[in-house]
Chains A and B, each alone.
Chain A
Amino acid sequence: MTERSPEGSDTLATYVFAVCRGVDPEAFTGLPGVGGEEMRALPLGTLTAVVQSVDAADFTDQAWQSRLSDQRELERYARAHHEVVSATAACCPTVPLPLATLYLDDERARQGLTDEAERFHTVLRRIAHHAEWGVKVYAPEEAADDTVATAPLAATPSERTRPSPGAGLAYLDRKRGIQRRREQHRDEALRIAETVDTEVRGLATAFRRLRPQALQLTGQRHVQVLNATYLVADHRADDLALLTRTLRERTGVRIDLSGPWVPYSFVGEV
């Protein structure tokens, strides 16, 4: 990785979205990409890179740093990237590249990507006729009495009346009970997550466990206990849908299935 930085605001750089085989440029013509000139197909021998010329000044380290602080901007770039990758993959076998893969110009892009051609071919073979599916398991709702038991904490203590004798002991007992129930609850949720993971792995070609998404990140009320992603052969997609339905009924917990995705998670080292 060289550390040459673009100079001057009128310098163009080549942004690479994906590398694919036999793409029809129609697939991504008209898409805005990450903002720049027309989307293009850059031939790399038997492969093709999907690229766009962008203003290099928009892609400096500093520009990215401030972009990361702005959720709307980050979202715009991530979705734009994803959109081009998805559109390309809709028409031909595609290897997605990570967000913000840039070269100084087309020639450098061709060189750099051609050097990796062998890897691209290997990956294309691996993901042929496969799609990525995300499976998330959420912990079931905690028993209602927990909420009731914790409620006095939130109440304004100044309005509390004088505690009766033995109130301290009762309080501790109650706290211990809550703690115990919470632990049991968590163990149960994790056990269900393991079951789901094992069963889904049974029909997947490859799998990856991702970090569970934070409660606030997902905007969900329920805690995520499994965030995994699976590479599933196209002909098994229906089996997967059926399996998750069955698991949902059997365990009674919320299980989300998302996909099919371009196999993003399975094009690196698996």
Chain B
Amino acid sequence: MSEVDFRQAGSPISGPQSANLADILERVLDKGIVIAGDIKIDLLDIELLTIRLRLFVASVDTAKKAGIDWWETDPALSSRASRNALRDENRELRRRLDALESSTDGGDPPGAPDEAAPVKTKKRRTT
């Protein structure tokens, strides 16, 4: 994918541009002989994680702009998607619970949740 032919004396500049930024970062940041310079830059102490996180945020934005947001709707990949699914599930359950509770007003114990559909509830309430 990312071909960086540094031995190609003719065009040493064109190579690096095509290399994946993540690949370059993981090499230039935490590799190489670590020489403590005079000017103290905490760059080497900063967890790569921080950078990854920031890159992550940036790349998500970029991807979204390009219309790639499939992970947002896949519960296996996005906590927000699973939250949404949970919220929907919750709303659905509340609706059924409401239906059930209003059906018990009539005195009849409710049947299996499967049978506690709103239509039936209304009928019972009239009795």
Chain A residues packing against B (C-beta within 8 Å): 1-6, 13, 16, 27, 31, 56, 59-61, 64, 68-69, 71, 74-75, 78-79, 81-83, 85-87, 89-91, 95-104, 108, 112-113, 116, 119-120, 123, 131, 134, 150, 153-154, 156-158, 160, 162-165, 167, 182, 210-211, 213-219, 256-262, 264-265, 267-268
Contact = CB atoms under 8 A, between A and B. Distances in A.
Contact of A6 (B5, B20, B39, B44): B39
Given A74-B51, A86-B12, A215-B71, 16 more contacts: A1-B40, A3-B40, A75-B21, A78-B29, A82-B19, A82-B27, A91-B9, A97-B33, A99-B29, A112-B36, A156-B88, A157-B89, A217-B55, A219-B62, A219-B63, A267-B31
Contact of B16 (A61, A82, A162, A211): A82
Contacts of B52: 214, 217
Nearest to B21: A75
Contact of B41 (A64, A91, A257, A268): A64
B73 interface: yes
A268 B31 contact: yes
A82 B44 CA distance: 17
B20 to A, nearest CB: 7
A163 B36 CA distance: 66
Contacts of A101: 35, 37
B2 to A, nearest CB: 5
B117 A104 contact: no
Contacts of A16: 35, 37
Contacts of B28: 78, 81-82, 85, 96, 98-99, 264
A77 B1 CA distance: 22
Contacts, number: 210
B21 A100 contact: no
B123 interface: no
A150 B75 contact: yes
A23 to B, nearest CB: 13
A261 B15 CA distance: 10
A2 B16 contact: no
Given A87-B12, A157-B91, A116 B7 contact: no
